[in-house]
Amino acid sequence: MTHVSRHFVVKRTATGLGLFAVMSIAAGKRMIEYTGPIVSTKEVERRRGKYFFGINTRWSIDGSPRGNTARYINHSCAPNAASFVSGRQVWVWSRKRIQAGEEITMNYGQAYFNDYILPAGCKCERCMAE
């Protein structure tokens, strides 16, 4: 599967699918919004999916719809992007300059890492090099 947009392309990676920059992105730029329906924490606990993004202690964004291009951003222990919550929105910003063709990555946080990544082993570029 390859999904193409003006700024990003989704393509295969070691962990499945990943989001890649089509053109260079300067450091400190807002790149993409993590979108989806807002669901309660109780609903997140009931459904236990991988695409929930907590925005506060009561609410999360269900990022599972394929129209949410940001859902393809993979975890990295040395990420080039970071997320910021603004009200009920989550924006992804570049932490450093991202070259055209480079995969966009974020650190998913310790809880997600422990629940989903650690059991299978981290496959980010930094961990695979160690």
Q: Residue 113: which of 42, 38, 50, 37 has the closest Cα?
A: 50
* DSSP secondary structure of 47-109: H--S-EEESSSSEEEE--STT-GGGGPEE-SS-SEEEEEETTEEEEEESS-B-TTPBPEE---
Query: What predicted TM-score, i.e. pTM, was given to this entire model?
Result: 0.88
All structural domains of the chain: 3-129 (2.170.270.10)
Q: Angle at CA 52, nearest 5°, toward 51 and 56? A: 155
Q: Give the tens place of pLDDT for each residue, 66-89.
A: 899 999 999 999 999 999 999 999
- pLDDT score recorded for residue 2: 45
User: pLDDT band at residue 1, thresholds of 50, 70 and 90?
Assistant: very low
Mean pLDDT of 107-122: 85
> Is 35 in a helix, a strand, or coil?
coil
> Mean pLDDT, the chain, as a whole number?
90
Cα 1–chain centre separation = 18
